[in-house]
A and B are shown apart, each in its own frame.
Chain A
Amino acid sequence: MAANKQQGSYFGLFLVGATVLCSGFAYYDSGTGKALLGLGALGIVGSMLGYMGIKPLEGMTAMKPGSGGMKLVGAAVAILGWLLTLAGIHITDSAGGRIIFALLGIAVSLVGILYILPAAFNKNALWKGEAASQRTGMTAAKTTMEHSR
């Protein structure tokens, strides 16, 4: 099952929820604004729950679950680098010192993004499975040809 009516309905609900939510933000000072905010949030949550309900019907993806904890660690390290850069603005007044802090922060963030996260995602990557990639790759090529014809 790919795209279907339910997906379309839930997307519609998401858009309506977002519209009402933003109207609530715009008029937050009024009672109506707060009510709209709550109603809009309900609409968005409803659409997400709806999507979650139909997710199992959509078939297996070519993905194996990676390491969830490592993914969060990667994201945390990335944000830590940014915080280090921000700290540098306060810690030192010199341009050179702030450049060093910013470079350190960038390096820390890159460790999270370019080292920890790829390791987390590739730990159980499908292509690492037993000749699976070659098999599926051939199937993919075959399917392309079939479509072409």
Chain B
Amino acid sequence: MKKILRNSCLALCIFALALGLGVLAHAQTAATPAAPAAAPAPVAATPADAELKDAAGKAPATADLAKGDPGGSFTGTINDVPAADPKAGVTIPDVANQVGQNKIAVNFVWTLVCGFLVMFMQAGFAMVESGLCRVKNANHTYMMNFFVYTCGLFAYWLVGFAIQMGGAAGNSNLGGLQPLASEHTLSLFGKTWGLFGQSGYLLAGHSYDVGVMVIFLFEMVFMDTALTIVTGACAERWKFATFAVSSVIMGALTYPLFGNWAWGAGWLSQLGSNAGLGKGYCDFAGSGVVHAVGGITALAVSMIVGPRIGKFNRDGSANPIIGHDISAVLIGCFILAFGWFGFNPGSTLGASANGNLRIGTIAVDTMLAGCTGTLGAILYMWMLKGKPDASMSGNGLLAGLVAITAPSGFVSAPNSCIIGLIAGVLVCVSVSFIENVLKVDDPVGAISVHGAGGLWGVLSVGLFADGTSNYGGSWNGVTGSVTGLFYGDASQLAAQLIGISTLIGFVFTLSFVINLVLEYFMGQRVSAETELAGLDIPEMGQLGYPEFVFRPEPAYSGD
């Protein structure tokens, strides 16, 4: 009977998959591009056209180029500009089109390369989280970090991207993104507020577009960063099957929804234009959208999963459970810091035009906040606990980076140092509070690094934004630069606080309820027997380090 049931399920799966693929094939057919617009009518030759012809005549001939160009002086001339009418030669419209395409090309390459850097951060997260866990759970922790990439990507491709960015048309850095022009809205108090996007499902139909693909890749790796935060907080006791389903739902719904509200023309970004609150909720690279969403979801899930066996004593005091590989932790932190140069500067979504030359400032702000975050944590631990704790130093670096993520596009270098320093101290205080007061077990400190650090980052925009940035003259549709309380705009602080309230009140509750439902149906936690044995064999079927042998040092003889 069971076999029949299983076979039926399998048949249903195959049938459903075939249907899904059929729909996709239909979508691909429907996406056949329209015929290109007719070529512009020829214009009368102007003096400028004559100059262009002259320049073409003076450009190095093919025979000259065949001799080689070691100095790079002749490669790339007017002859490399494609002419609409080869007989007429290169004209002013040809040059203008090429300039426009070069701008978009530079921005595409910039955004894609930064996205690749952010993708590499997954490796850093895997090393940090696994290094902070015990050796008996290493394979399980690495596998969660590995598989979350697949779960998140699949869910985001299916529906998450459409919810988050389906109404995000209008970004001139990436060519306008016009296929993403459908936002579901709600009219309230005489204003229209964006709720979620509705185009871009499965990247099919009109979203089969070069610009859409670039923004998909970039936003997807951000989403995956948020998902992988939860695996750290719930490590060493989270059932693999439940983790997988929970991650799919987070990538499909929880993250994209808040992402839409902040970045996809949703209601938080409209707080400026609709309610007169500064430039609306501003989160340059995702302290709130990515890190706080991840950290707050991590808090919700780790409450449900419960503490590891042996973490707390009967009197409520906590036992330290030491990770197995501090070298992996610190190397992982460096990989993350490297990837952050994609995370923050890449969030300009371009390097050319619209004030995007600020990428240098953003990169330096990122670097400095990481530095002062590390200093804050090391000094705190060294002065109060007596040792420059390695794992907390790593967390300090990450907290500084997390905190500067939202303000990196809007603040000066000295302010980024202050933001990072506060984050470094905050993470130490928060780790202690979560463990000793809440009695929530977070093996890697993810809730503190990403949750507390992320919220501080969102708040710091409302305090430290100095009003000097100029991303095309407006932000979130409001003319002017983002300016915080210390530089004269209290209303920006109000917008940031509304964002924080949404993260704490809405995102936490949504994550909590979803995972409570999963707890009911699937169970979130492995059995006590599995937990004690270590999750590697029961959950993954293989030890992370099968030949790991503990050899005690011989006694010191003094000879």
Identity of the chain A residue whose Cβ is nearest the Cβ of B30 in the assembled complex: A27
Partner of B158 from A22, A86, A138 at Cβ < 8 Å: A22
Cβ contacts B531-559/A at 8 Å (1 or 0 each): 11111101111010000111000000000
> B10 to A118, Cβ gap below 8 A?
no
Q: Which residues from A are CB-within-8-Å of B16?
A: 16-17, 19-20, 39-40, 43
Partner of B23 from A26, A78, A106 at Cβ < 8 Å: A26
Q: Which residues from A are CB-within-8-Å of B541?
A: 3
Q: Which residues from B are CB-within-8-Å of A85?
A: 497-498, 501-502, 505
Q: In the complex, what distance in Å separates the CA atom of A35 from the CA atom of B439?
A: 47
Query: How many A residues, CB 8 Å from partner?
Result: 91
A-B contact count (CB 8 A): 274
Knowing A16-B16, A36-B23, A143-B136 are in contact, say whether A23-B314 is a contact too (CB < 8 A): no
Q: In the complex, what distance in Å separates the CA atom of A89 from the CA atom of B497?
A: 11
Q: Which residues from A are CB-within-8-Å of B512?
A: 75, 78, 117
> B312 to A23, Cβ gap below 8 A?
no
Q: In the complex, what distance in Å separates the CA atom of A137 from the CA atom of B9?
A: 42
Q: Which residues from B are CB-within-8-Å of A48?
A: 521-522
Q: In the complex, what distance in Å separates the CA atom of A109 from the CA atom of B287?
A: 20
> B504 to A110, Cβ gap below 8 A?
yes
Q: Which residues from A are CB-within-8-Å of B257?
A: none
Least CB distance from B91 to A in Å reads 43
> B549 to A81, Cβ gap below 8 A?
no
Q: Which residues from B are CB-within-8-Å of A131?
A: 314
Least CB distance from A149 to B in Å reads 6
Question: Does B27 lie at the interface of the complex (its beta carbon under 8 Å from any beta carbon of A)?
Answer: yes
B contact face: mostly helix, strand, loop, or mixed: helix
> B539 to A2, Cβ gap below 8 A?
yes
> A103 to B509, Cβ gap below 8 A?
no
> B314 to A103, Cβ gap below 8 A?
no
Knowing A2-B538, A102-B500, A114-B438 are in contact, say whether A18-B306 is a contact too (CB < 8 A): no
> B497 to A125, Cβ gap below 8 A?
no
Q: In the complex, what distance in Å separates the CA atom of A27 from the CA atom of B19?
A: 13
> B494 to A99, Cβ gap below 8 A?
yes
Partner of A14 from B24, B245, B504 at Cβ < 8 Å: B245
Partner of A78 from B316, B319, B504, B531 at Cβ < 8 Å: B504
Knowing A102-B494, A133-B310 are in contact, say whether A3-B538 is a contact too (CB < 8 A): yes
Partner of B528 from A14, A39, A60, A96 at Cβ < 8 Å: A60
Q: In the complex, what distance in Å separates the CA atom of A43 from the CA atom of B244?
A: 16
Q: Which residues from A are CB-within-8-Å of B311?
A: 127, 133, 137
Which residues in window 33-86 of B have CB below 8 A to A? none
Given known contacts A127-B311, A133-B314, A136-B310, what 14 new A-B pairs fall within 8 Å (CB)?
Answer: A2-B526, A11-B245, A22-B201, A23-B19, A25-B159, A26-B201, A58-B239, A58-B527, A78-B509, A103-B497, A121-B303, A137-B310, A139-B310, A149-B549
Closest 6 CB pairs of A and B: A82-B505, A137-B310, A59-B527, A2-B538, A26-B201, A102-B497
Interchain residue pairs with CB less than 8 A apart (7): A3-B541, A51-B241, A59-B530, A90-B189, A109-B505, A129-B314, A134-B314
Q: Interface of A with B (CB < 8 Å)?
A: 1-3, 7-20, 22-23, 25-27, 32, 36, 39-40, 43, 46, 48-52, 55, 58-63, 71, 75, 78-83, 85-86, 89-90, 93, 95-96, 98-99, 102-103, 105-106, 109-110, 113-114, 117-118, 121-122, 125-134, 136-141, 143-145, 147-149
